[in-house]
Structure 1
């Protein structure tokens, strides 16, 4: 049984929280943290929730809360307890209910023969289509507003590796390439000759890509998860 948990320690100022996962009982995990002689006070278990996706949710929570991370190599975040619980609960619900890949996507006719800049290879187009299929739109856009972030979806290198039957390292490189191009990616629509930015934000962290589409681009795409 795996849990994701939130723990606090009065030795930390400004309400810094530890967010982690454990295959043990959360209270036992927190007790083990308290045994460290470098911490003057015991940790307090603030919240825990069981999920078979706890490790995945932990990784995603650490990713989307990167702006609140105290140290890049530590699991500590400068964030309120309510915000942390909100993010974790939403990510668990997303993983357990809405995290599936759509089996069909749709594109506006004006997008099908559009011009992409920077230019995309056939492999890149396949990944963009996969990103569209993985998008949850409003469900995740509501997820992390409290943290100042809005997200449309997640896509892991493991998922890409299994679907395209390629090495995980190659899948990760593909997602990194899309992230680099995505920051500047624009599409010029074939009929209206209008150029729009594709992503408002796109990030990659430890095998996971997450993104926020530009609102104008959202109107041009869809999937059967909606």
Structure 2
């Protein structure tokens, strides 16, 4: 199991990590609107690994037409030492903490504590924002990360992206969850937050496996 979590710094919302709460859809953070969608994107370990690699190299965001700018790894994630599980066995540090990876364009892969700027529009709706990577998970059957807003966005909140290789069925699923509280006046109009989120989800989900994705 490999995990990295950023616990310092300031985001512009209070419920950090709430996208992983089981009851997010029933009890979202105050004043926010929750959203969740999930697609089956194939089966087997190879599909899982390929989808995970795509996810951690920002494929979902880029395919949504968003431009990544000013991507800055957190200076404190170079190495944090070895931790131990409940039985006292050592846990290997997250590889993002040991060696920063880069894609073909030289952009760093997702890593805990990283900050970045997204610029772009989705169906005419702004998707700009200053973001921080709250956590990264790399496990044998789960790969994912959480993004939280720092400011400069029309909404305030969090997104989580997870690739899961299910042991019981061998199927690979991609799930995106979010909660958004409107910031700009336009997005306080009824339906605007949900519309923006629906369009983003559609692009994210198709990006990871455009040939094999099957809507639930």
Same fold (TM over 0.5): no
TM-score (norm 1): 0.27
Structure number with higher helix proportion: 1
Structure number with higher strand proportion: 2
Q: Larger Rg: 1 or 2?
A: 1
TM-score (norm 2): 0.28
Task: Between the two structures, name the one with larger relative contact order (CA 8 Å, sep ≥ 6).
Answer: 2
